[in-house]
A and B are shown apart, each in its own frame.
Chain A
Amino acid sequence: MGILSRGGMKHMSRKVLLIEDEPNIAEAIRFLLTREGWQVETHAEGTDAVEVIQGANPDLVILDVMLPGKSGMDILRDLRELDDLRGLPVLMLTARGQLRDREMAESAGVSRFMTKPFSNAEVLTAVRDLHAQATQS
């Protein structure tokens, strides 16, 4: 884990919660973001995702749409109902990239929408952008 903690030393305060039930995607994203200095927590269930987000208090959430128990779209809607999580940056990942799905995510309050398969650079850029926007506002 040594190489992961190298970058992490610089930005210990930044935390991302990755809610993704695909373990190998979660592992790849965790590796990438950890090297960027993010503290990465992962969760693979939809049912209790809102409570987990509340408990983890992350700076940013990466949220898969198709999750066991509860869809990412429903989780997002619930988040936006909560006063303290209304402004939390949420990057949504989905295999369904149709305009209709994008519009649905936007109306639910997504910060950024990304379709699978994505490139690592796209994920990193989106995370950087969203974090920068959140810290500026």
Chain B
Amino acid sequence: MRDTLTGSRIRERRQIAGLRQAELARRVGISASYLNLIEHNRRRIGGKLLVDIASALAVEPSLLTQGLEATLISALREAAADAVGQQAEVDSLEEFAGRFPGWAAVLAQMHRRVVSLERTVETLSDRLTHDPHLAASMHEVLSTAAAIRSTAAILAETQEIEPEWQDRFHRNLHQDAERLADSSKSLVAYLDDSDAADDRRGVPLEDAEAFFEQRGHHFPEMEGSEDSSAIDLSEIDSAAAKTVTRGLLDVYASDAKAMPLKAVKTALAGTEPDPIKLAAQFSVDIATVLRRLAALPDGVLSRPTGLVVCDASGSILFAKSVPGFAMPRFGEACPLWPLFQALNRPLVPIRKRIVQLGRSAAEFDCYAYAWPQAMSGYDDAPVYRSVMLVRAVEEGGQGGQPVARVGPSCRVCPNADCESRREPSILSEGF
């Protein structure tokens, strides 16, 4: 930056300090008209006068004399070049940066942020549309399906076919059927992403859930302690994911304190958990009981137990999976889940047996409960959250009571006539 802009910086700093020109001139012992010439870069300035002015403005002299960083000017040039439909006065760029350093820095920062966000969007959309693993898996499935369809049609529709060809096509069909089974499994495993924890990185909630999953949803070091800071989160990359995880751990710690493990084990000895009784016994709300039951170490409960928490918008805030019960990776779950029905009847515990369509037809006992978040003041409308405990029904225990049919999410639900359907299922489109 040319030092001829020192005057502009003095003017800028004087205005920020709320000083009139005459006042600053008086303080440093020069006339207002001379200061005016300096501020308009028509007089060079240095030495004692510069030090005095800097002192009067409570800034370092170097702030007034040194040019702005080259990166700032460069960033502003890039911002001007990238602007769509706007012609920036590039010739006056240095003057602009000199006179309005704060605004210039804000503009440069905004531009850097836009560039960074655009890159992120590009990367994510590229991953969605050109995911190489997904593309390769889909190609494998569709090519095998094409081979099976053609070969099966030849066998079914050709009137006269020599035994030699018949044998060959039967062999091909068998090969392709096995390939289709393998590639379908591989594709489903990829989409479910059950084991590829690394691929989940990028979405804070998924990082947090992966962290809980890795620890088996139980943290012995927090039992009996209300402090979650003992848990090392260094393996989590992003600050956002750390914040989400820390929040979940705080809830865990609070639940563990309210329902100590030893006492819970004693209460559950030989009996099936009854959330209402447990809530009364430990003087806690039902949400605490449901969360706590899902966080017990292996072996305390007789059957696999999952958990889902959502807010009033229906967004999933936390999920602990349970085998056979699909929990959508990106929210958008089935609105028929008791989890969401509980939001219609806050503070009323719901118990319902469900079966998820399109899966293994396994039955689950669900306990759901919606409770209000803390209110900030009088007359505030409460905002509710809902929690649902999902327990596999033991073998032989099925069929004993009414079962509600729910889906995983609309996109993969085969119930075409559902009144609550949001969008067509890809299953109904012949996927």
Contact = CB atoms under 8 A, between A and B. Distances in A.
A123 B149 CA distance: 12
Contact of B138 (A1, A24, A95): A95
A32 B165 CA distance: 12
Given A3-B160, A27-B172, A95-B142, A118 B149 contact: yes
B176 A116 contact: no
A28 B169 CA distance: 8
B147 A24 contact: yes
Interface string B126-156: 0000000001001100111111111101100
A116 B161 contact: no
A25 interface: yes
A117 B141 CA distance: 9
Contacts of B151: 24, 27-28
B146 A116 contact: yes
A54 interface: no
A120 B158 CA distance: 11
B175 interface: yes
Contacts of B175: 24
Nearest to B157: A120
A29 interface: yes
B143 A95 contact: yes
Contacts of B154: 28, 31-32, 120
Contacts of A31: 154, 165, 169
A22 interface: yes
A66 B165 contact: no
Contact of B149 (A32, A35, A93, A119): A119
Nearest to B151: A28
Contact of A116 (B145, B158, B160): B145
A3 B135 CA distance: 38
B146 A25 contact: yes
A2 interface: yes
B146 A118 contact: yes
A119 B135 CA distance: 22
A4 B164 CA distance: 12
**A contact patch SS:** helix
Nearest to A123: B150
B149 A117 contact: yes
Contact of A95 (B139, B158, B172): B139
B111 to A, nearest CB: 31
B146 A22 contact: yes
Nearest to B162: A3
B168 interface: yes
A2 B165 CA distance: 10
Interface string A106-127: 0000000001111110010000
A95 B157 CA distance: 24
A3 B172 contact: no
B197 to A, nearest CB: 29
Interface string A1-29: 11110000000000000000010110111
B153 A119 contact: yes
A122 to B, nearest CB: 10
Nearest to B138: A95
B162 A117 contact: no
Q: 8 tightest CB-CB pairs across the interface, nearest first? A: A28-B150, A95-B142, A117-B146, A116-B146, A24-B147, A117-B145, A24-B172, A95-B139
Given A25-B150, A118-B149, 20 more contacts: A2-B162, A3-B161, A22-B144, A24-B172, A24-B175, A25-B143, A27-B151, A27-B168, A27-B169, A27-B172, A28-B169, A31-B169, A32-B154, A35-B158, A66-B139, A95-B139, A117-B142, A120-B149, A120-B150, A120-B157
19 contacts: A22-B144, A22-B147, A24-B175, A28-B147, A28-B151, A28-B172, A31-B154, A32-B154, A35-B158, A93-B146, A95-B143, A96-B139, A115-B142, A116-B142, A118-B150, A120-B149, A120-B150, A120-B154, A120-B157
